[in-house]
Structure 1
Amino acid sequence: MPDSSALFDQLPPAPGVGYKPQHFTAIIEDASPVEWLEIHAENYVGAGGRPLAQLRALAERFPISVHGVGLSIGGEGRLDPDHLARLAHLCDWLNPASFSEHLAWSTHDGHFLNDLLPLPYTNATLTRVADHIDELQRAIGRPMLLENPSSYLAFAESTWSETDFLDEVARRTGCGLLLDVNNVFVSATNLGLDARAYIDAFALERVGEIHLGGHDSDADDHGAPLLIDSHGRKVADPVWALLDHTLARSGPKPILIEWDANIPDWPVLAAEAARAGAALDVLAKVPA
């Protein structure tokens, strides 16, 4: 079992952003208030070229978090050995401060589905996810962080709560957790749950990163609110409030702003990161 204690101090407890190539020049010239960057692993597993050259330049100045989106940790089949090898190679030369993946599945019968799909929380799923995480951690030579999903439905066959399921996976494998606060808000709204109660039940001591992103609002067939985790707009005010609640319980953590669609100009993204920094500053001023 990997030593999960190494997960929690590799990134600064400060704002980071998901890196996009159109922001490269602005980041190099003045990244304030951003202190670390995240990349999507699958964008950097090729051989050479401008993307890798830019990433090498950024890695000389910033801690880098690698976020996988295509491994299908929860899939029924075995992990793709070729993809594992590509991830291992990326981690070998980049030596990232953190590596994370989703509690989700995206493969079936040899086909890749362009989505991150939810899982029933059962003992069988727990064993499969833990086995896959063990295999991944052996391949990349480091512990990973597992991210809570955004949910649009609940499975009747689930016998674990999501928070207990994540905690047990982490206990069995030594992995850490990535807490996506926007995903919590999206899932709680869609499923009629209490977002703050979810945070209160979460294993915050295992959290190595916090993520924030924007979501879109819609309605289901019955007119009830339906939120979509889109990463295409500013973080909503209720999500910022949920972040404040989280930090009050967890203490300072690395906070990432995700913005993967409708990419804004750098000042807009930097302003979101500054707001995350302000939340950390307020926390620092609270008497112990």
Structure 2
Amino acid sequence: MKKIFHGFGLGLRKDYYSEILATQPAVDWFEIISENYFVDGGKPLYFLDAIREQYPIAMHGVSLSIGSTDPLNKHYLKNLKSLADRINPIFISDHLCWTSVGGINSHDLLPLPYNEASIKHIVERINFVQDYLGRQILLENLSSYVSFAESDMTEWDFVSDVVERADCMLLLDINNIYVSARNHHFDPLDYLKGVPAQRVMQHHLAGHSDYGDYIIDTHDAPVVDPVWQLYKVAAELFGPVSTMIERDDNMPTFSELLAELNSARTLAEPIYSQQQASVVLPVTSRYQFTSTIPSVGVQEQHYG
């Protein structure tokens, strides 16, 4: 099964709805925060439907809570599937984390211990979700600020085992790797080289807040030079991977955001064209993955 490269996208935020429809910018696709559209009608769905007529859409969630010990939220899954059926997204993704405990959503993306018990628990839950949705999902690596004494492997080994054993895909957030590497004092190149290339389906790029001794993933600033450098290595390692810029606070003008996206395009496209290799998914996958909608426009409050 071919791994389709959808090009370079942006997070779809309400600040830009009208401008996107009025100017039809050269963006290949947009990514929504799934939960913002779990509604029966109103402006969010109106604009989503209108933009969906012009661009492919990816769905990115923040409340699946795949790592929680709470039962999977069937109402949430029903909403997720209903939205997916409505817009036929190119991707459905969430985070390799937990957000709920005792039925209460913390609205935070909380890390897990990296061990076999966590892997078995999460893989079983991913299998249920993918069977329910009838397609593969993508899971994103976190930015983290604490570690667990119970962890007995590296984060990249943990992530790799989860996605391989669950037959899901990886949304590799380059900024999150940089943030966690700084906070936990590991080499981010080890992370990039330690995950299975055939599972890397999407990249996120974002900004963060640097406090010297630690940094926090805030999505409120432009991508910094060390993250661009990591992204260049990722392009060399993984080949063509659909990439987007995330911004959730301190919102710039749309033209500034588009310029940042074009920086990603300018950096990655020469590398991709030199590689001239097709990337394939594992042929054993049980799930429908690709949308029937072609990529378009390739001319030339939540954090995720």
Normalized against structure 2, the TM-score is what? 0.87
Q: Distance in 2 between matches of 1:80 and 1:254?
A: 29
State the distance in 2 between where 1:29 and 1:239 align.
Answer: 32
Deviation at 1:25, TM superposition (A): 2.3
Aligned residue number for residue 235 of structure 2: 247
Please give the alpha-carbon distance, in whole angstroms, between the structure 2 residues aligned to 1:71 and 1:172: 19
Query: 1:106 aligns to what?
Result: 99
Query: Larger deviation: 140-149 or 178-187?
Result: 140-149
Q: Deviation at 1:94?
A: 1.2
In the alignment, the residues of structure 1 paired with residue 255 and residue 238 of structure 2 have an alpha-carbon distance, to the nearest angstrom, of 29
Which residue in 1 is equivalent to 2:196?
Answer: 203
Alignment-derived partner of residue 43 in structure 1: 36
Contact kept? 1:37, 1:65, Cα under 8 Å? yes
Q: Corresponding residue for 1:264?
A: 252
Q: Report the AA paired with residue 125 of structure 1.
A: S
Letter in 2 for 1:180: D
- Indicate the larger mover: 242-251 or 274-283: 274-283
Show the counterpart of 2:129: 136
The CA distance in 1 between the partners of 2:157 and 2:200, in whole Å, is 14
Deviation at 1:227, TM superposition (A): 0.7
Please show how residues 92-103 of structure 1 align to structure 2 within 5 Å: 92-103=85-96
Q: Is the 8 A contact 2:145 2:183 kept in 1?
A: yes
Q: Counterparts of 2:94 and 2:146 in 1: how far apart (Å)?
A: 21
Measure how far apart 1:87 and its partner are. 0.5
Provide the rounded CA distance (Å) in 2 between the counterparts of 1:62 and 1:207. Answer: 22
Q: Which residue of 2 aligns with 1:222?
A: none
2:108 aligned to which of 101, 115, 126: 115
**2:69 alignment counterpart:** 76
Structure 2 unaligned blocks of 5 or more = 277-304
Q: Does the CA-based 8 Å contact 2:169-2:200 persist in structure 1?
A: yes
* Displacement of 1:16: 0.4
| Gap change, CA 1:78 and 1:287, over 3 Å in 2 | closer
What corresponds to 2:118 in structure 1?
Answer: 125
Retained in 1: the 8 A contact 2:141–2:173?
yes
Per the alignment, residue 167 of structure 1 pairs with 160
Q: How far did 1:78 drift?
A: 1.0
* Aligned residue identity for 1:279: L
> Percentage identity across aligned positions?
38
Q: 1:204 corresponds to which letter in structure 2?
A: A
Structure 1 residue 285 displacement after superposition: 5.2
2:267 matched residue in structure 1: 279
Amino acid corresponding to residue 250 of structure 1 in structure 2: F
CA distance in 1 between counterparts of 2:273 and 2:200 reads: 22
Residues 85 and 139, structure 1, Cα contact 8 Å, conserved in 2: no
SS in 2 for 1:260: coil
Counterpart position of 2:81: 88
**Do 1:213 and 1:257's aligned partners in 2 also have CA atoms closer than 8 Å?**
yes
Report 1:179-258 matches (<5 A): 179-219=172-212, 225-258=213-246
Return the letter of the residue paired with 1:203: P
Aligned residues: 276
Match of 2:301 in 1: none
Q: Which runs of 4+ in 1 moved over 6 A?
A: none
1:66 aligns with 2:59: yes
